[in-house]
Amino acid sequence: MIPERALAGRMVAPIGLGCMNLSWAYGDPPPHDEKVRLLERAIELGYDHLDTSNIYGLGRNESLIGEALADRRGDYLLASKTGIVVKDGGARGIDCSPQAMARSIDESLARLKTDHIDLFYMHRLDRTVPIPDMVGALARAIEAGKIGAYGVSEWSAAHVREAHAVHPMAAVQTEYSLWTRQPEIAVLETTRELGIAFVAFSPVARGALGGELGDDPAFGDRDIRKGMPRFAEEHWPANRALIARFEALAAEAGIAPAQLALAWVLAQGPHVHAIPGTTSIAHLEENFATLSLDIAPATIAAADDLINQATVSGPRYSPAMQASIDTEDFA
């Protein structure tokens, strides 16, 4: 059994629920009543850390949580984010100016039907705003009781340190999985040293390690994986071969591939959390059951040796997407 871990002043299960794909990102989201049932089932199972953002479905994801779980607000730590904006014409940008964040917090509170967000992230680094100004705005929101703590997403170790020196930071959220190892360059150790929780999003490698993508995955136009290099035809066959070996390793251990992927993430430090997302109640249950498994360290080590930065084929993002990321990257 993996015990609870600290996050934003609260002890929570180290597997939380990333809510993004209930509203956006991986194809068409499920019908509304199925989304509500999944969120209700998550609380029944013991999920007590839900992660959303104002940009997921352009506010619809926050509204979904507010509608489905308003009467269960005390049962979970609520995390949301701000900073990614949609400009005229549909292009995305970043705005973490104090005025924009103050407005965004109020809008998120209204959609979430609450007066308090436990953990509020800057979704990306805004290179046009001084870090003391950004952090100062969130410190004022903490003082006003609108948010409990702040975090950042996809920030470099140097900028995490700079922000933490202005006001203590509660969490850093970054993509982290067996096949995405950028946090190991500097951020993972920095968060451990500073006593900051590390929250891994896409810990099952955007479904690649979930045991369900075959030799030729068909992604629709509404699926963001269609534009990600590792799923493209020049890289996927090599990655699929690695994944087949990974799936065999999980089967030999008597567990699901996603459970091995999650167990590996949580084994990287006692300050590490994982927030897999899903639209399937069966997968929701399977993911949370990872916490009760006793997986041999040798199996986790074998997974680490099999899928890592040196063995995976292709970068995680296209150059255009990578341009918005501050987290250190491999050469």
Distance CA(140)–CA(244), nearest Å, equals 50
Residue 237: alpha-carbon gap to chain centroid = 26
Distance CA(318)–CA(324), nearest Å, equals 11
Give, rounded to a whole angstrom, the gap between the first and last alpha carbons of the chain.
38
Residue with tokens 């590390």: 198
Q: At what angle are helices 32-45 and 60-69 packed, to 10 degrees?
A: 60
Annotated catalytic residue: which of 56, 76, 121, 317? 56
Distance CA(331)–CA(182), nearest Å, equals 11
Distance CA(144)–CA(308), nearest Å, equals 43
**Sequence-separated (6 or more) residues with CB below 8 Å from residue 136:** 98, 166, 167
SS3 for 165? Answer: helix
Distance CA(93)–CA(85), nearest Å, equals 5
What's the Cα-to-Cα distance from 316 to each of 175, 177, 178, 242, rounded to whole Å?
Answer: 10, 11, 12, 16
Catalytic (active site) residue 121: no
Structure tokens, 53 = 């953002």
Across the chain, the runs of DSSP E, i.e. the strands, are 5-7, 10-12, 17-18, 49-51, 77-82, 84-86, 92-94, 117-122, 147-153, 171-175, 197-201, 272-275
Pairing of the two strands 171-175 and 147-153: parallel
Indicate if the alpha-carbon torsion angle 64, 111, 138, 74 is positive or negative: negative
The residues annotated with a catalytic role in the active site are 56
